[in-house]
Structure 1
Amino acid sequence: MNPVPATSIPIQNVYYLLAYAWDHFRTGDEVDIDQSQCPDAHNLLAMLLCGGIRRLATKGMDKDYRQFTETTPRLRGRVDVLASHRRMTHVSGKMICEFDELTADTLPNQVLKATCRRLNRFSMHLSKDNRKQVRHCLDLLADISDIRLASRAFHRVQLHRNNRHYRLLMHVCQMLHSLFLPDQQSGTHRFRDVLAEETVMHRVFESFVRQFAVKHCPDAKVSAMKIAWHGEWEDDVNSVLPTMLTDVTLSRPTRKTILDCKFYKEALVTRHNRHRLHSSHLYQLMAYLNNKSIDEGWETVDGILLYPAVNHHLDLSFSLLSHDIAIRSIDLDQNWPLIHQRLLDVLS
């Protein structure tokens, strides 16, 4: 199944998807994306990264205390007397000192620099202005150490109250890293088109819908809910049962809804000139509904399958095993106010 084609989604709408998904959207914000600077999602990510780094350079970059060891004639911190005598540094009037120093050479800033270096190295698909901005950001990060960027670096980044403004930038860096893989044919590295990557964009779309619901459905408790299987089995069966984790669950006092997001170009399968729903999508949703409806207060839970379609419009409603089912689509090639209203209607 083909993912939603990149050319069908205006780049301004891609920005809104990412801003919501990364919880960086402020109500009332409107953006005017320069098409010459951001002709595609790759350039959009580069623009977001460079803009964020410039703001950090102006307002002050994240700093933390790091321990340094230095052989110096000026005593500071803890003096390592034994090591100094062992190396005979005292002969030249110096001692080995260990001290803490506040520095901007932190892991988040090292991740930013490593991402900029990679963008600069593979900048053939960037606009002229974005290439210039990437080089400028490398100058701003000149005092930051170079690291080899790996997936584990993002798990080591610790965000807290004082550096939480790095969250969007870390998301941008992580997405660019996930798109930077070797070409299977040539073996060379390249950046893949983010919108052509179904797995990546499914996570973005799912998070976008969930964060949109958090902001615009104040009457509902919004979550990604883990659903337990209801049945009887031996203990060893638990280890092989698949996990049921919803994309978006809305719990209202009078209504419960489980919403499953699918980032597909076509919500219907065409076989023998007949259009049908994806069976696996409907089976999965029914498994969620049937198992969750056994829990107290969830007896009448309903379900929604949501597709970010650009080639058709779906509004199907029916009932299965006493559960109300809705199949909906959102046309991402529309102006954003129409997308906003459509999603409000789906979630209401």
Structure 2
Amino acid sequence: MTDEKRKLSSIQIKNLYYMLAYAFQVLQKGDYADIEAEEFDFVEDLLAAILAKGIANQIKKGLGREYLPKSESLSTLRGKIELSASFRQQSLLKKQLVCEYDDFSMNSYLNQVLKTTSLFLIRSPLVHSYRKKDLKKILPFFNDVDTLDLRHFRWSNIKYNRNNATYKMLINICYFVFKRMLQTEESGSHKISHFNIIQNMPQLYERFILEYYRKHYPEFNVSAGYINWNVDDGFSSFLPQMKSDIMIEHCGKILIIDAKYYEKSMQRNPLFDSTKLHSNNLYQIFTYVKNKDVSGLGNVSGMLLYAKTDEEIFPDFDYMMSGNRISAKTLDLNSDFAEICFKLDTLIEKWQFEVSNVVETDLSQK
């Protein structure tokens, strides 16, 4: 096993595919079934496989076009005439005028991102040769599309609508590749730093858990809801927003899950040789729970769900704090995906049993 594959042992690449499949549900459709059956040695190879299949599907549907401003010398009038530019370029000598108009073009930012990312993956030594052939097959469809310098590209400026909604998953895959590209260039090596496969893995981890519970537990209300501050005078101006990663509601009970993807899930004080939970994480989940439990009935629980690291001590604790249950648990992303599902099911079903038990007790007392 190479050094890089050893470093990947903190999370199986196949599990990364499953997490992406839940986060972007389009990957669960039949078009991507063959990807699930493949084995991948490197993250880039997996992302290249998804991108090649996804772009090919997008080409079948039709590449998106946008109205883009264009200026050129024309013999026939089109759009708005630019007289100053016409005199400056001496277009009149050719019996032409410089016109500015909107061109319905394929050279949109979204297509530029797809082309630029595909070219990077084709040059990557971590992408299999036959995957590169799949990417090269789609490049002729992007002949009229420019490339970008993704270092200066503002990803936050991308806006999705009904016309380009099918690009959302593809652009997110490109973003993952872009982050890996920067990491590789900054380190001067293709080796992956420990427990940091892609830079925005925490967001993917959070989204995976949210979508997993949404899909497999439709009887619950699963969301990433906001939590209002429980202020006495009703004045909450200037207070920061509180938004849960995952909030599950059932039978009048609420479970707030805060997904944590850290290199170290416990904090250690070498001076006193002690290991404890991250204090800020515990303060955060406790604040969420107590502000959500407005009536103080204890019907709100909180859970810190850490991705497992190679630490000897990892979170597996339950506490009762001021009438509310606060837990800290661990999810091993390096285990078989069936075991990951079993762990997630066990956590939620244990909570469901506790909820049902409380509800039955309350009903028996009436």
Offset at residue 61 of structure 1 (A):
0.6
Counterparts of 1:44-55 in structure 2, within 5 Å, are: 44-55=46-57
The one-character-per-residue Cα deviations of 1:164-202 (angstroms, maximum 9, x if unpaired) are 11111110111222233267987x586856952586221
Contact 1:114 1:147 in 2 (8 A): yes
- The residue aligned with 1:149 is 150
Cα distance between partner residues in 2 of 1:207 and 1:44 = 19
Q: Secondary structure at the match of 2:36?
A: coil
- The residue aligned with 2:209 is 209
- The residue aligned with 1:247 is 245
The one-character-per-residue Cα deviations of 1:249-277 (angstroms, maximum 9, x if unpaired) are 11234211111112247655677887654
Residue 310 to residue 185, structure 1, CA distance change in 2 (3 Å): closer
Residue 327 to residue 25, structure 1, CA distance change in 2 (3 Å): farther
Cα distance between partner residues in 1 of 2:86 and 2:263 = 68
| Percent identity of equivalent pairs | 27
- The residue aligned with 1:306 is 305
Contact 1:222 1:249 in 2 (8 A): yes
Cα distance between partner residues in 2 of 1:195 and 1:58 = 37
Unaligned runs of 5+ in 2: 1-5, 350-366
Cα distance between partner residues in 2 of 1:194 and 1:45 = 19
- The residue aligned with 2:282 is 282
Contact 1:221 1:252 in 2 (8 A): yes
Amino acid at match of 1:103: S
Offset at residue 18 of structure 1 (A):
1.4
Cα distance between partner residues in 2 of 1:208 and 1:106 = 30
The one-character-per-residue Cα deviations of 1:187-235 (angstroms, maximum 9, x if unpaired) are x5868569525862211111111122222332333332333445689x9
Contact 1:111 1:173 in 2 (8 A): yes
Counterparts of 1:140-179 in structure 2, within 5 Å, are: 140-150=141-151, 152-179=153-180
From the two aligned structures, give the one with the greater helix fraction: 2
Query: Does 1:181 find its partner at 2:182?
Result: yes
Q: Secondary structure at the match of 1:179?
A: helix
Residue 151 to residue 343, structure 1, CA distance change in 2 (3 Å): farther
Unaligned runs of 5+ in 1: none
Contact 1:268 1:278 in 2 (8 A): yes
Offset at residue 54 of structure 1 (A):
2.3
- The residue aligned with 2:127 is 126
Whose RCO is larger (CA < 8 A, sep 6+)?
1
Residue 334 to residue 72, structure 1, CA distance change in 2 (3 Å): same
Amino acid at match of 1:282: L
RMSD: 3.7
Q: Secondary structure at the match of 2:150?
A: coil
Contact 2:258 2:305 in 1 (8 A): yes
Contact 1:41 1:194 in 2 (8 A): no
Contact 1:112 1:173 in 2 (8 A): yes
Residue 17 to residue 74, structure 1, CA distance change in 2 (3 Å): same
Cα distance between partner residues in 2 of 1:198 and 1:80 = 48
Offset at residue 306 of structure 1 (A):
1.5
Offset at residue 129 of structure 1 (A):
2.6
Offset at residue 41 of structure 1 (A):
1.7
Residue 144 to residue 274, structure 1, CA distance change in 2 (3 Å): same
The one-character-per-residue Cα deviations of 1:87-115 (angstroms, maximum 9, x if unpaired) are 55334232333333322111100111222
Residue 23 to residue 150, structure 1, CA distance change in 2 (3 Å): farther
- The residue aligned with 1:340 is 341
Q: Secondary structure at the match of 1:70?
A: strand
Cα distance between partner residues in 2 of 1:156 and 1:259 = 30
- The residue aligned with 2:320 is 319
- The residue aligned with 1:260 is 258
Cα distance between partner residues in 2 of 1:287 and 1:104 = 49
- The residue aligned with 2:355 is none
TM-score (norm 1): 0.79
Offset at residue 247 of structure 1 (A):
1.5
Residue 164 to residue 69, structure 1, CA distance change in 2 (3 Å): same
- The residue aligned with 2:104 is 102
Residue 190 to residue 243, structure 1, CA distance change in 2 (3 Å): farther
